[in-house]
Amino acid sequence: MTARRVAGVVLAGGRSQRFGRDKAEEVYDGRKLIDWSIAALEPFVDTILISGRDYPPYPWAPDRPDTGMGPLGGIAGAMAAAQAAGCTHLLSLPCDAPHIPADQLARLCEARDCAYLTACPVIGLWPVEQAEPLARHLAAGGRRSVRAWADAQGATAIDGEEIANINSIEDFERLTRR
């Protein structure tokens, strides 16, 4: 049996249309939002990838099968990159949720194979062997819902506290007033 090796990915490829500027680069409490996600991943993964942008020193994982596929395209591309790096699983986080509870990430990592947080389905643990089937699903015009795809894979849905993510300037302002 192969030992589990987990790659982490920060999904940072969105267009930030509702936000009006690049969310990943927005500074909150002295740190870019993308860096909050990187810090959240570090205790749980063997390597970190960035989806949707070049962000040295971390390797960039291009979307698959093409850009514009939403978070699932980022996950598919990161799965392929993680598989090429010898990893068995991928732990995905968005770039716009600076307060992801570590205990919820730990629960994901304890899952047998495939799991996601019901409060924010893009936060999930995915077996990288699903990279090609997911890319084919997207290329064929399949649904782009992370939750629907995860449920179709038999993923474990893990309940937990609500996770605040930033979609608009108003969301960001609410977060900074906390």
Please check if 155 is assigned to a binding site.
no
Query: How many residues belong to the chain?
Result: 178
Burial of 27 (0-12, 13-18, 19+ CB in 10 A): exposed
Ligand-binding site membership of 12 (annotated): yes
11 annotated among ligand-binding-site residues: yes
Dihedral over Cα of 138, 142, 144, 145: its sign = negative
Going residue by residue through the chain, which has 178 residues, state the pLDDT in tens, using 9 for 90 and above. Answer: 578 999 999 999 877 777 778 899 999 999 999 999 999 999 999 999 999 999 999 999 999 999 989 999 999 999 999 999 999 999 999 999 999 999 999 999 999 889 999 999 999 999 999 999 999 999 999 889 999 999 999 999 999 889 988 888 888 888 888 7
pLDDT at position 146, please?
96
Q: Is 84 annotated as a binding residue?
A: no
pLDDT score recorded for residue 1: 53
Instruction: Say if residue 151 carries a ligand binding annotation.
Output: no
In the prediction, which pLDDT does 164 show? 86
Sequence-separated (6 or more) residues with CB below 8 Å from residue 130: 79, 114, 153
Tell me the CATH class for 6-176: alpha beta
Flag whether 113 is marked binding. no
